[in-house]
Amino acid sequence: MKIFKLEIKNSITSNNIPNIKNNTINIKKAEKRFIFFSKLELTSILNLYSKQVSKGHWRDYALDSKIDNAIFSIYRHSQDKPMYQIIKNSQKGYRNRPSFYIKKGQEVINKSKSLFIILSNFEKKLSIKKLRNH
C-alpha cells in the first residue's frame, strides 16, 4: 500500500493579482473586437436550419467568430466542406452596420444589409430546387 502526500499550493499571491486583472482586461478587449451573431439573428438562422434538417437536406453546422466576421457554416455531411456559409461581416468602426452574405463554395449567392431578406430569399431558392428535382 502506497501513501501519497499531497500539498496544496496557493497559486495566487498578492504579487500576481495585478497581472490577473490585466490579463482579464486584455481578454475582454480582444472579445470586443470579434463579431458574433445576435440572439435574434441566430434564432432565425437556426429556424431555417431546423426546417432543412427535418427535410433531410442538411445534417450539421458550425459557428465561427473572427475579428471582422461571424460565420454559420452548413454541411450535408460532417466531413465535407460546407455547402453554404452565412456570413455576417462588419468592418472596424462600423459594428452597427453589418452586411450579410450567403456563399456556396467561393461564390457569393446573395448579399444584403438585412439577414432576414437573405434568409427569405435563401428559403425560396431551396424550395424551388426541391420542386425541380421531383
Domain boundaries defined on the chain: 32-133
**What secondary structure, in 3-state letters, does the chain show?**
CCCCCCCCCCCCCCCCHHHHHHHHHHHHHHHHHCCCCCHHHHHHHHHHHHHHHHHCCCCEEEEEECCCEEEEEEECCCCCCCCEEEEEECCCCCCCCCEEEEEECCEEEEEECCHHHHHHHHHHHHHHHHHHHC
Indicate the pTM of the whole model: 0.68
Q: What does the pLDDT read at residue 90?
A: 84
Q: What does the pLDDT read at residue 78?
A: 74
More confident site: 108 or 5: 108
